[in-house]
Amino acid sequence: MGRKKQAMWVRLMVLLANMGRCVYCDYAESQVIDHVIPLAANGADSWRNLVPACQACNLGKSDKGLLAWVAQLTYLDHARDSAAWPHAPKGLTWMRVQLDHAFDEVEARLGGVKAELDDEARRDWFFDRYWRLSKNDSVPFWRAYVGPKAAEARINGYPKPPPPPPRMRITRARLGQVFEPVPPDEAS
């Protein structure tokens, strides 16, 4: 299974999930989309397997599984504070607690992103407005443009776009009336 380039509306929908922050570190702005289950481990190349990530976390995770990568980060963060002897107060048990806490945090954020991406109104909002964008457009440009609009839409519950105006045609049948509505049953 190969990697495919996602449609721009899908990339924007994923990048702006989790308030536009990286789902792994939760403080850097999301810049890329990452596969939670790597493609190398037969992960799907669809929006259901994508999350927002910063460049550093995406490169660090690479093709590792989530648990292995969180364990590596946790160990690197807490190795200086841990004891050399496994049964010391900050030994193996303490490190296991740190690992469990870190994994629970990342898992909770992943659950929040999954809930956002599964929200049909949110998905429809992105699709209705941005399906025309090319896959090759500048992602940073569109992310900066769409970000404030998506934040406002989140507050308003991702409203549907207004219906299109009725079709009109030029007429000269009545004096003073230039346009008349086209009946929906008429062929275009």
pLDDT in tens, the chain (188 residues): 456 788 999 999 999 999 999 999 888 999 999 999 988 888 888 889 999 999 999 998 888 888 888 888 888 877 777 766 666 677 778 788 888 999 999 999 999 999 999 999 999 999 999 999 988 888 889 999 999 999 999 999 999 888 878 888 777 766 666 787 888 787 55
Q: In this predicted structure, what is the pLDDT of residue 126?
A: 94
Q: What is the 3-state secondary structure (H, E, C) of 3-31?
A: CCCCCHHHHHHHHCCHHHECCCCCCCECC
pLDDT at 39: 86
Residues 6+ away with beta carbon under 8 Å from 31: 15, 53, 54, 55, 58, 140
Q: Could you tell me which of 77, 103, 105 has the C-alpha nearest to residue 18?
A: 105
pLDDT reported for residue 176: 67
Q: What is the per-residue pLDDT for 1?
A: 47
Distance (Å, rounded) from C-alpha 32 to C-alpha 52?
Answer: 6
pTM score, two decimals?
Answer: 0.78
**Are the beta carbons of 39 and 5 closer than 8 angstroms?**
no
What the block records as the tokens of 182 is: 């086209």
In order of 24, 101, 108, 140, 151, the CA distances from 14 in angstroms are 14, 25, 17, 13, 13
| Residues 33, 35, 38, 42, Cα dihedral to 10° | -130
Q: Write down the pLDDT at residue 149.
A: 94
Which residues share a beta bridge with 52?
33
